[in-house]
Amino acid sequence: KNQVEQSPQSLIILEGKNCTLQCNYTVSPFSNLRWYKQDTGRGPVSLTIMTFSENTKSNGRYTATLDADTKQSSLHITASQLSDSASYICVVSASKAAGNKLTFGGGTRVLVKP
Amino acid sequence: DAMVIQNPRYQVTQFGKPVTLSCSQTLNHNVMYWYQQKSSQAPKLLFHYYDKDFNNEADTPDNFQSRRPNTSFCFLDIRSPGLGDAAMYLCATVTVGRGRIAEAFFGQGTRLTVV
């Protein structure tokens, strides 16, 4: 069964500090992995998308890594800001042959405190 | 400009009264998804359209139906909403083509309340 597991479930950090979120997946056949930011009551917004051949991708203060061999990804937030408070969702897409299905992780809820 | 638009943003309906949520896209994407997201949970796929082909998830209740009259619009119909159907409903679109990365775009969601 395709699964995406994220850790930790929630995280509290002080403004200006860094943090790293983890994502492990068993989706096969793998097509790509995405990280989304979801503010409360709003739809997810894409941060990064990576295929199996990409090890790292950055979007401003967000840097995602991917190890397709171990099926692990991380999202690193640098110099956190209050506006980074949100849920961060790891989503893995199966290949076209498997219907391009998106499998969602449970998300990590990040709270940035001043 | 918003590329995936869901209407309404908030919907209150009575128990058992049919309700329709809409999603429109300006991206000309060939795949559209409907997800149900309950509080503090990951979105759960209800069904998706690949062009006109409808694909229902095995555990999607019969109470949920969908229509896609054209590429731009997709509707979620809940025939007899129950209290357990109160949730955020998310629409997403993906374009799939040879050699292309399928980026998914989400709407802002419709929050459904059942009273």
Mean pLDDT of chain A: 90
Shortest distance between the Cα of B16 and any Cα of chain A, in A, equals 24
Q: Provide the token pair at B8.
A: 């309404």
Question: Å from A107 to nearest chain B CA?
Answer: 7
Residue A99 has pLDDT above 70, yes or no: no
Q: What pLDDT, on the 0 to 100 scale, is given for residue B100?
A: 54
Spatial CB neighbours of A72, under 8 Å, sequence gap ≥ 6: A22, A23, A24, A25, A66
User: Chain A residue with minimal CA distance to B49?
Assistant: A99
Which residue is closest to A95 within chain B, CA to CA?
A: B102
Test A93 with B102 for CB contact under 8 angstroms. Answer: yes
Cβ–Cβ gap A43/B108 under 8 Å = yes
**A99 phi-psi bin (left φ>0, alpha ψ -120 to 50, beta other):** left
Smallest Cα distance from A27 to chain B, Å: 15
Q: What is the pLDDT of residues B77-115, one digit of tens each?
A: 999 999 999 999 999 998 665 555 566 789 999 999 999
pLDDT, residue B2, reads 67
Name residues whose C-beta falls within 8 Å of residue A70's C-beta, 6 or more positions apart in sequence: none
**Look-up of token digits 């955020």:** B88
pLDDT at B76 (0 to 100): 97
User: What pLDDT does residue B97 have?
Assistant: 56
CB pairs under 8 A between A and B: 54
Is pLDDT at B11 greater than 60 in this prediction?
A: yes
Report the pLDDT value the prediction gives residue A98, as an integer from 0 to 100. 65
Per-residue pLDDT averaged across A101-112, rounded? 88
Q: What span, in angstroms and rounded, lies between the C-alpha atoms of B26 and B45?
A: 22
Cβ neighbours of B12 (radius 10 Å): 12
